[in-house]
Every structure is written in structure tokens, then in C-alpha cells.
Chain A
Amino acid sequence: AQTVTQSQPEMSVQEAETVTLSCTYDTSESNYYLFWYKQPPSRQMILVIRQEAYKQQNATENRFSVNFQKAAKSFSLKISDSQLGDTAMYFCAFMKHGSYNTDKLIFGTGTRLQVFP
């Protein structure tokens, strides 16, 4: 069974600085997706970034980028130029790529990020 581990329950960063959130996962699959979702105080889960395991290039979305190390099964999220609106709970998630009825998301326990002015 797949597992996702986020070892940092809480982190803080000053506005405009850079912060990196860690995520490791365990799987025997070779083809899968990895995601970072953000959950602000409103509690809606918002997709931040997605990585396909077969792609060697790290995904980037504006100020958000990932460091995907497939051999090490590591998937960290880097937030550059942190903004107050980045304050949220961040969840790392894994999904096996395959037949449509196996697209279940496996979530980590989350990292609470606080951005200070």
C-alpha cells in the first residue's frame, strides 16, 4: 500500500522569503502522480501543483516549484517570495496512474504554514 509522509507539522516564514515543505512517499508503482494541495482557513482544498512521475523535469507554477527525486521518493514544495495569502495547511498527495477506477488520492497529514509580515 502507498503511504505519504509529511514530517513537518508546522512551519513559519517571513513575507518575501522562501520556504520548503517536505514530503516523502512509499510505493512500488512506477507510474503515478504527485500533488500539493493548499487548504486555507476557508478549508477548500486548492490544487497548487502536480507532477507526473515519468517526467524528469520538476513542475513549476509561478512562485511554487517542486523538487521531485524519484529514486529517493521525495517530493518537496518550494514557495518563493512568500505572501500572507500563502498561510494555509499544505497537503502532499499521491495517486497511482492507471485504470480509471483506481485514481484514489492518498494524502499526507499536512504541514501548517504561517507567513509572518
Chain B
Amino acid sequence: SQTIHQWPATLVQPVGSPLSLECTVEGTSNPNLYWYRQAAGRGLQLLFYSVGIGQISSEVPQNLSASRPQDRQFILSSKKLLLSDSGFYLCAWSTMGDTQYFGPGTRLTVL
């Protein structure tokens, strides 16, 4: 069966510091991968999605970037964090055009 992992689970970072969040999927090949952000008390906002290695599409211009160095690995990064980057970050996977399944999430607090 397929599983999706995210780490770290919780992160507290100062403003201006770099960021790297990792997402890995097991049990499937060539998944579509997604990064979402959820601000407190709000819905999910799609940040990036990827249909293959090295293929990244950005939905919202912002302080973040994403990379997909391996088939089942998706990384969310920032060179300098802003206060507004605080939130809950969820990674998800799907096979082409089908249901998305979510990871456990990372709670990021920028101070």
C-alpha cells in the first residue's frame, strides 16, 4: 500500500532563516505531487505541483520554491523566511487525474 511521509512534523524558525521541508511517497511510481499551505482557521491553498522529476508548476508567486530531485521526493524550500510563511504545510500525492492523498503535515512557525 502507498504511504506518504513528511518531516519535520513541527518547525520553529526565525525570520530570514532558510527552510527545507521534505515529502516522500512509498508504494507507487511516478506520482503527481503537491504542496499545500493552510493558514490558521482557513482552507487549503495549492502552492506547487509536479507531474515528474524536475517538473514544477507554481500556483502562487511567493517566497517559496519547490523541487523534485527524485520520483517520489518533493521538497519545499525558502532562502529567507517571512512571518507570513507561518502555517501548516501539507504534501499530497495522486496518480494521474485521480484522488489526492495527504501526508501528516508540517507545522511551521516563523518568529
Contacts and interface: CB of A to CB of B under 8 A. Distances in A.
Interface in A53-111: 91, 95, 97-105, 107-110
Interface stretch (B20-28, B44-52, B64-72, B74-82): B44-52
A42 B105 CA distance: 9
Nearest to B6: A44
Contact of A43 (B43, B51, B96, B105): B105
Nearest to B96: A100
Contact of A101 (B51, B98, B101): B51
Contacts of A109: 42-43
A42 B96 contact: no
A47 interface: yes
Contacts of B49: 101, 104
Contacts of A37: 102
Nearest to B38: A43
Interface residues of B, number: 26
Given A91-B43, A109-B42, A110-B43, A103 B88 contact: no
Contact of B101 (A47, A97, A98, A100): A47
Contacts of B38: 43
Given A42-B104, A43-B105, A45-B102, A103 B46 contact: no
A98 B97 CA distance: 7
Contacts of B96: 100, 103
Contact of B32 (A35, A46, A98, A100): A100
Interface of B: 32, 34, 38, 42-44, 46, 49, 51, 57, 59, 88, 90, 92, 94, 96-105, 107
Interface of A: 33, 35, 37, 42-47, 50, 91, 95, 97-105, 107-110
